[in-house]
């Protein structure tokens, strides 16, 4: 839906709406696993961890496409590494939280 909206907004030169949707797409890609966990709603910490790891893998090719778009439809290896690293870092932080014992406090349940 976001991708379709960004095309519509670009075609009508709606700059602010386009930038907002681009930001939402960026957040969605960088936090693919955490968003998937929220949508899935599994009570199992192990299942949420598996979902996050799958989300991390799926976000990597999306990060490459995002970097290509941010670089003006050209390759920018620094952007690829930056966005992929940011996504991987977010997913690794959540994975670490999910690996903690159930005794400690956790914002993910």
37-75 pLDDT, tens digit per residue, is: 999 998 999 999 999 999 999 999 999 999 999 999 999
pLDDT value of residue 100? 85
Distance of CA 56 to the CA centre of its chain: 8
Whole-number Å distance between alpha carbons of 35 and 77: 26
Tokens found for residue 38: 């929220």
Residues 1-16 pLDDT 10s: 988 999 999 999 999 9
Whole-number Å distance between alpha carbons of 12 and 91: 35
Residues 66-103 pLDDT 10s: 999 999 999 999 999 999 999 999 999 999 999 985 54
Give the pTM: 0.83
The CA distances from residue 48 to 35, 100, 107, in Å, are: 11, 13, 13
């Amino acid at each position: 839906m976001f991708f379709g909206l960004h095309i519509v907004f670009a075609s009508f030169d709606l700059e602010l709406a386009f930038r907002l949707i681009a930001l939402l797409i960026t957040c969605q890609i960088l936090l693919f696993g955490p968003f998937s966990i929220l949508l899935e709603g599994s009570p199992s910490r192990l299942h949420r961890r598996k979902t996050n790891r799958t989300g991390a893998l799926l976000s990597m090719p999306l990060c490459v496409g995002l970097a290509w778009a941010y670089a003006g439809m050209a390759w920018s290896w620094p952007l690829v590494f930056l966005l992929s690293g940011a996504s991987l870092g977010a997913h690794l932080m959540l994975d670490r939280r999910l690996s903690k014992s159930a005794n400690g406090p956790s914002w993910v349940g």
